Structure 1
């Protein structure tokens, strides 16, 4: 009743406005290293110097993204920092909002589902925006790619998937869902062409042999990078069950997770079922975080987006479903915030990887739903919708 004033257009506007302004908290505090790490490597491209390794004169961290991403961030290198922070978060929030909007196009009662999805995702998206991370952009672009893939617009879909891949490797993994849709050869061609275009873009600034060396270094950096605290299944196994944090153990857990993720694809007769497709996409978004050795708090916007999309597949949520959703909202999205006293966050939530628990439980529930879904209930999601486009609703 109290939220009746919060219509969908107002919610979208507030969503974008708040996420765009969130980074200014850190900007005013002078804590903008993440933004500098995104925008300043372009300086090294201009000088034909390696963008990897330590560059304390520019930012305080190891750059772990692709040469193409450094090239794409060129406009932010030239912009004043305050202006750049504003537009960086604006782009991230708009892509995320548009991704949610268009992914849910063609759904029954799409307006209500968009409203619910935005509310569920907002707290976690805010954490990412405050840290000026790229994860809102990644998940929004993945959803846009899936929307275009469903509509058989393979070149647009491939563009978004490849864009994600040149920011973070796992962003391109959403392209796997091309197996559900027609035009498979055309899609593979589009992926190949866009990959070549994106990969060669930095060659406008540096020689090809140097660019090849930079890509080799990027692959090496990604392969050897491991965060000290695993906010994932690996972290839960380490803290709760005493699993040693070794490369061998991490690879075993990753392999088990990959097998569990791929097994539902064996239900070939459900590949064209709309409900199965939606569940698999939700399942995927949760999977790539909870089984990721690089998972940290700001990456959880992907997993929580998966939880939101799972919730929207439920016709009549049970008490268990409500409990799982509330667990994710409270212990995943709200646990890093000042709602909880600092000593609880530092002494309980963080060391015991509580942030991962709710998403792991939802993933288990999704496993059950994927394997128990009957084959004879075929649901098709249309690629177009009678709902008004976002630009018209926002006007």
Structure 2
């Protein structure tokens, strides 16, 4: 009961059957992408990250422009100063490369902890490699955020709620996206341990940056962070082409609804997301749990105006996880290939420059396949597609067994 099937078997085995080529591709593509940018001295994002640590230690504001040091502004919380600190102490090019490798390794480890077969895990790594290339090129931390969410899910299932809580807190206090780790709360068998862990790590990670600076500085910085995020949201909505690659951005640009308020999309999305918890009586079902993981990974990207191409390393693992747990069907493979082309490759050199400049970027096409799959996941959950085929009596038996009731 609740066991995963090796969906779309022949495709999965062909793609993920050999492990070493997948590992070489995963790490090789990340090192190549980061190395290319480092060689060209194009490490602006890393310089922003490095200066989070430097600015915290010198009590400088984190969210101002520092054009003499880097372009753009920092939007990460003060906790990030702790994560980037070891790399900031190294020469820039060495620190940047090790930073890229660390994030790639963290996400690799997280995917390996998923309750899936080795072939399924290999498939996910293989087909997420293009998104990894983009994220590594920009020396992003989005791989780390994806890892925090995925690993918090895996740890909760393994009964390691205290460690899971640490990842949820770090992800939240760094980029807010990590808060979706709370979506797995009901899968925990030790909910009080998880709650206590959230409080404990929340206090610890709130206080730790004060050791690098001062309590007054950190308190002030959190207020400035909130203001910076509001300003960033307003700029994104106003039409920054490389930002707001979200469901709202797609709808605004495609249907020329520039003044559409985010709430018209976000409120129904929250209702749809929460409605999936109506199936909690089947919370021990492995497929249902993975559906919720997929939904949680997709949600912050689809419904955040800060979504950009490099952040889809958080969302695309969900697309791959969704596919590997499906029962075989040609239409599901077609949906996956559609997502691979129009999401993962939408901003790559595999599509023509004309397509990128006139379709993919202006219309936020990257978000569209993910939105379709997110809605499909909600439909599959609400119609109990995660249950094995059978009659109502068999489903009632599964319900009773799942909830540890006497039959």
Q: Structure 2-normalised TM-score?
A: 0.87
Question: After superposition, where does 1:118-267 map in structure 2 within 5 Å?
Answer: 118-226=125-233, 227=236, 228-229=240-241, 230-245=244-259, 249-267=261-279
Paired with 1:332 and 1:118, the residues of 2 have a C-alpha distance of 16
Instruction: Find out whether 1:338 has 2:352 as its counterpart.
Output: no
Q: Which residue of 1 aligns with 2:57?
A: 46
Residue 47 of structure 1 deviates from its aligned partner by 1.6
Residue 376 of structure 1 deviates from its aligned partner by 4.6
- Aligned in 2, Cα 1:366/1:203: closer, same or farther, shift over 3 Å? same
Q: Is the 8 A contact 1:333 1:355 kept in 2?
A: yes
Q: Which residue of 2 aligns with 1:29?
A: 40
SS of the residue 2:346 aligns to: coil
Q: Which residue of 1 aligns with 2:30?
A: 19
Paired with 2:151 and 2:296, the residues of 1 have a C-alpha distance of 15
Aligned length: 374
Moved more, 21-30 or 279-288: 21-30
SS of the residue 1:177 aligns to: helix
Q: Is the 8 A contact 1:53 1:62 kept in 2?
A: yes
SS of the residue 2:79 aligns to: helix
- Give unpaired runs (5+ residues) of structure 2: 1-10, 388-394, 403-407
Paired with 1:130 and 1:119, the residues of 2 have a C-alpha distance of 17
Q: Is the 8 A contact 2:61 2:221 kept in 1?
A: yes
Moved more, 17-26 or 184-193: 17-26
Q: Which residue of 1 aligns with 2:103?
A: 92
Would you identify which runs of 4 or more consecutive aligned residues in structure 1 move more than 6 Å? 1-6
Q: Is the 8 A contact 2:29 2:129 kept in 1?
A: no
Moved more, 4-13 or 219-228: 4-13
- Aligned in 2, Cα 1:378/1:54: closer, same or farther, shift over 3 Å? farther
Deviations 1:274-332 (A, max 9, x none): 2111111111211221111111111111111111111122021x222112101111111
- Aligned in 2, Cα 1:4/1:263: closer, same or farther, shift over 3 Å? closer
Q: Is the 8 A contact 1:21 1:89 kept in 2?
A: no
- Aligned in 2, Cα 1:273/1:3: closer, same or farther, shift over 3 Å? closer
| Residue number among 298, 304, 307 corresponding to 2:316 in the alignment | 304
Deviations 1:185-213 (A, max 9, x none): 11110011111111111111212111100
- Aligned in 2, Cα 1:372/1:262: closer, same or farther, shift over 3 Å? same
Q: Which residue of 2 aligns with 1:285?
A: 297
Q: Which residue of 2 aligns with 1:391?
A: none
Paired with 1:144 and 1:182, the residues of 2 have a C-alpha distance of 17
Residue 244 of structure 1 deviates from its aligned partner by 2.8
Q: Is the 8 A contact 1:45 1:71 kept in 2?
A: no
Paired with 1:9 and 1:181, the residues of 2 have a C-alpha distance of 34
- Aligned in 2, Cα 1:378/1:315: closer, same or farther, shift over 3 Å? farther
Question: After superposition, where does 1:309-328 map in structure 2 within 5 Å?
Answer: 309-316=321-328, 318-328=329-339
Paired with 2:170 and 2:334, the residues of 1 have a C-alpha distance of 36
- Aligned in 2, Cα 1:177/1:342: closer, same or farther, shift over 3 Å? same
Q: Structure 1-normalised TM-score?
A: 0.89
Question: After superposition, where does 1:348-363 map in structure 2 within 5 Å?
Answer: 348-363=359-374
SS of the residue 2:262 aligns to: helix
Paired with 1:32 and 1:183, the residues of 2 have a C-alpha distance of 43
| Residue number among 64, 67, 77 corresponding to 1:66 in the alignment | 77
| Residue number among 362, 365, 369 corresponding to 2:376 in the alignment | 365
Deviations 1:13-55 (A, max 9, x none): 4312321331121222222111111111222222222122111
Moved more, 223-232 or 323-332: 223-232
- Aligned in 2, Cα 1:39/1:322: closer, same or farther, shift over 3 Å? same
Residue 231 of structure 1 deviates from its aligned partner by 1.0
Paired with 1:268 and 1:367, the residues of 2 have a C-alpha distance of 13
